[in-house]
């Protein structure tokens, strides 16, 4: 006998400060067999299981999702789920920090709709990014939960496999796990809670120890997503297990340990205002100095169209540098129209978010990359010795190949500017050194100065002086048996 397990989900992260709504075309969508053929889901192919692929949609983090785009994906997902019935289980591969215009707790909406369709007896497992925001409504629908334990995220696949393996264990053994949830009134940016730095590292190192306790299957600490001004935004502990009291105790221990460390979280790299960081970069004798433009990081929900750093470099008459990259579809089109080698006056940046600063300069088109779609077009331009990569769509430049594809060797550049928070696993090892500039943008690191009208207060560090004792509750599904 093989188990019929349906698989799908929606995966993105949305800053409610961004005015740039995500639309349908911003998502990479796998439907049906495309999902099974994706390397991302290759662990689904195993004997004894019939994986039933639904729909999986994923977008680079950004602003809220348009209502129409969300409703379109949800309707298609539910239609495919209904067609897949009867099933033995459902696995959802989520991020957890999605925001839909006009809606709170979008994952709660998605997961509740799935639960309503599959009925109360069907096990549902979800995997999450540790930057997701969990709610009681979400937990109440789930039997199994697992989240990343690394940031930068180098355990994406392992996490998905943890959730999947727990679902199979449940089906094979007949054990009935449940989920326990302990909210923590603490919201910090990922840049101050990298698992490569203390005290976060030590807290996450303990999680596998909890997994080995009797009756505990999977212990999780969720950092949450601070740039979502909505009621559910908090950190939390979420524990999957079969021993309810043990799961409650472990969730409370994890929650208390995070709370007690609250004043100790720091930025990992040398961090400061942009001008101060450029002073440090100017004195550096090593290369590449990698400067993270943190307020405009697209992988954290930033718009990616700001020219703050470009303007600062032009103003300083900077020498050799590479900026990877600035999203500006109009400037890219102008470069393609002018052709490689042409000189033109360009306005760069500020094309997506009217609040984003732009730069004006005479630029020479160095390289044009047509990609396979118009949205993938890139243009490399030179403004004096400053090389700027322009992208037609919002995207990060966090991999070595993003640069080498365009003929740029990131290791050879004296100053490499990327729109990033903590550096990616590929850029981090070559940074010599890494500097992080506290630049403006919709994911500004100045948390305490951020508008907070809808987060349920008190939350540290918006409010500093209050007491908290962890209190974990089992999901509604696990409360009444
Ligand atoms: Zn994340």
pLDDT of amino acid 480? 62
The answer to whether position 460 is within a domain reads no
Question: What pLDDT does residue 399 have?
Answer: 98
pLDDT digits (tens, 9 = 90+) for 230-240: 999 999 999 99
Helices 67-84 + 106-118 axis angle, to 10? 20
| pLDDT tens, N- to C-terminus, the chain (481 residues) | 799 999 999 999 999 999 999 999 999 999 999 999 999 999 999 889 999 999 999 999 999 999 999 999 999 999 999 999 999 999 999 999 999 999 999 999 999 999 999 999 999 999 999 999 999 999 999 999 999 999 999 999 999 999 999 999 999 999 999 999 999 999 999 999 999 999 999 999 999 999 999 999 999 999 999 999 999 999 999 999 999 999 999 999 999 999 999 999 999 999 999 999 999 999 999 999 999 999 999 999 999 999 999 999 999 999 999 999 999 999 999 999 999 999 999 999 999 999 999 999 999 999 999 999 999 999 999 999 999 999 999 999 999 999 999 999 999 999 999 999 999 999 999 999 999 999 999 999 999 888 899 999 999 999 999 999 999 999 999 986 5
Q: Is 23 exposed, middle or buried (0-12, 13-18, 19+ CB in 10 A)?
A: middle
Q: Where are the alpha helices (DSSP H) in 386-458?
A: 400-404
Q: How many CA atoms lie within 13 A of 324 on its CB side?
A: 23
Quote the tokens at residue 84: 């897949």
Query: Is residue 349 assigned to a domain?
Result: yes
User: How far is ligand 1, taken at its centre, from the CA of residue 133, in Å?
Assistant: 11
> Distance (Å, rounded) from C-alpha 103 to C-alpha 348?
33
Ligand 1 center to residue 95 CA distance, Å?
Answer: 8
Q: Is residue 140 part of a domain?
A: yes
Assigned domain for 360 exists: yes
Is 227 found in the same domain as 321?
no
Q: How many whole angstroms from 292 Cα to the centroid of ligand 1?
A: 17
Q: Could you tell me if residue 47 is inside a domain?
A: yes
- Record the tokens describing residue 353, joined without a space: 């978010």
Same structural domain, 84 and 48: yes
Distance 403 CA to ligand 1 centre (A): 23
User: Are 12 and 135 within one domain?
Assistant: yes
Are residues 66 and 19 located together in one domain of the fold?
yes
398 C-alpha to ligand 1 centroid (Å): 14
Residues 6 or more apart from 209 whose CB is under 8 A from it?
A: none
Residues 96 and 224 occupy one common structural domain: yes
Q: Check whether residue 291 and residue 238 sit in a common domain.
A: no
Distance 130 CA to ligand 1 centre (A): 6
Question: Helices marked H in 39-84 — which ranges?
Answer: 67-84
Give CA–CA dist 162/171, Å, rounded.
14
Is the same domain home to 261 and 279? Answer: no
Give distance in angstroms: CA of 169 to centre of ligand 1.
Answer: 27
Query: Is there a contact between 460 and 262 (Cβ–Cβ < 8 Å)?
Result: yes
Distance from the CA of 12 to the center of ligand 1, in angstroms?
Answer: 9
| Same domain, residue pair 194 and 289 | no
**How far, in Å, CA of 399 to CA of 420, rounded?**
12
**What pTM was computed for the model?**
0.95
Output the CA 333–ligand 1 centroid distance in Å.
32
CA–centroid distance, 93 to ligand 1, in Å, is 13
| Residue 72 CA, ligand 1 centroid: distance in Å | 25
Residue 454 lies in a domain: no
pLDDT, one tens digit per residue, over 352-398 is 999 999 999 999 999 999 999 999 999 999 999 999 999 999 999 99
Q: Are residues 279 and 416 in the same domain?
A: yes
Residues 255 and 327 in one domain: no
18 with 64, same domain: the answer is yes
Residue 457 domain-assigned (yes or no): no
pLDDT digits (tens, 9 = 90+) for 421-476: 999 999 999 999 999 999 999 999 999 888 899 999 999 999 999 999 999 999 99
Q: Are residues 61 and 151 in the same domain?
A: yes
Question: Could you please report the per-residue DSSP string of 127-172?
Answer: EE-TT----HHHHTT-SEEEE---SS---HHHHHHHHHHHHHHHHH
Q: Which domain holds residue 114?
A: 3-265+470-474
Assess if residue 284 is contained within a domain.
Answer: yes
Closest CA to 101 of 139, 127, 71: 71
How many domains in the chain? Answer: 2
CA of 4 to the centre of ligand 1 (A): 30
Distance 151 CA to ligand 1 centre (A): 7
């Amino acid at each position: 006998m093989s188990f019929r397990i349906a698989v799908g989900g929606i995966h993105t992260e949305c800053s409610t400060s961004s005015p740039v709504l995500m639309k349908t075309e911003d998502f990479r969508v796998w439907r049906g067999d495309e999902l099974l053929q994706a390397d991302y889901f290759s662990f689904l192919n195993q004997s004894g299981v019939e994986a039933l692929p639904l729909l999986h949609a994923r977008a680079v983090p950004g602003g809220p999702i348009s209502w129409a785009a969300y409703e379109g994906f949800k309707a298609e997902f539910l239609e495919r789920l209904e067609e897949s019935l009867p099933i033995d289980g459902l696995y959802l591969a989520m991020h957890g920090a999605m925001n839909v215009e006009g809606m709170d707790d979008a994952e709660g909406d998605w997961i509740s709709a799935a639960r309503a369709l599959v009925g109360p007896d069907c096990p549902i497992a979800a995997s999450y990014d540790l930057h997701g925001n969990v709610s009681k409504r979400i937990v109440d629908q789930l039997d199994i939960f697992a989240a990343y334990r690394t940031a930068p995220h180098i355990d994406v696949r392992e996490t998905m496999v943890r959730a999947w393996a727990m679902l199979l264990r449940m089906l094979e053994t007949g054990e009935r796990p449940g989920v326990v949830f302990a909210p923590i009134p603490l919201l910090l940016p990922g840049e101050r809670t990298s698992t490569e730095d203390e005290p976060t590292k030590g807290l996450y190192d303990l999680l596998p120890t909890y997994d080995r306790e009797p009756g505990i299957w999977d212990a999780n600490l969720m950092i949450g997503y601070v740039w979502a001004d909505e009621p559910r935004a908090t950190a939390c502990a979420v524990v999957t297990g079969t021993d309810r009291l043990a799961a409650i105790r472990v969730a409370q221990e994890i929650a208390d340990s995070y709370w007690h460390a609250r004043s100790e979280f720091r930025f990992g790299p040398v961090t400061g205002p942009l001008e101060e960081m450029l002073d440090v970069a100017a004195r550096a004798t090593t290369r590449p100095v990698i400067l993270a433009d943190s307020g405009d990081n697209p992988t954290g929900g930033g718009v990616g169209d700001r020219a703050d750093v470009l303007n600062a470099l032009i103003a300083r008459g900077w020498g050799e540098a590479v900026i990877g990259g600035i999203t500006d579809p109009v400037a890219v089109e102008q470069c393609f129209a002018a052709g490689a080698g042409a000189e033109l006056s360009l306005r760069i940046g500020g094309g997506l978010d009217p609040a984003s600063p732009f730069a004006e300069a005479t630029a020479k088109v160095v390289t044009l990359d047509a990609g396979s779609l118009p949205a993938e077009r890139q243009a490399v331009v030179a403004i004096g010795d400053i090389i700027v990569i322009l992208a037609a769509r919002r995207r990060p430049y966090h991999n070595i190949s993003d640069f080498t594809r365009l003929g740029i060797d990131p290791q050879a550049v004296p100053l490499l500017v990327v729109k990033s928070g903590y550096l990616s696993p590929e850029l981090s090892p070559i940074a010599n050194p890494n500097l992080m500039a506290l630049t403006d943008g919709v994911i500004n690191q100045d948390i305490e100065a951020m508008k907070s009208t809808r987060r349920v207060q008190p939350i540290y560090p918006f409010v500093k002086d209050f007491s908290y004792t962890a209190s974990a509750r089992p999901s509604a599904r696990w409360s009444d048996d």
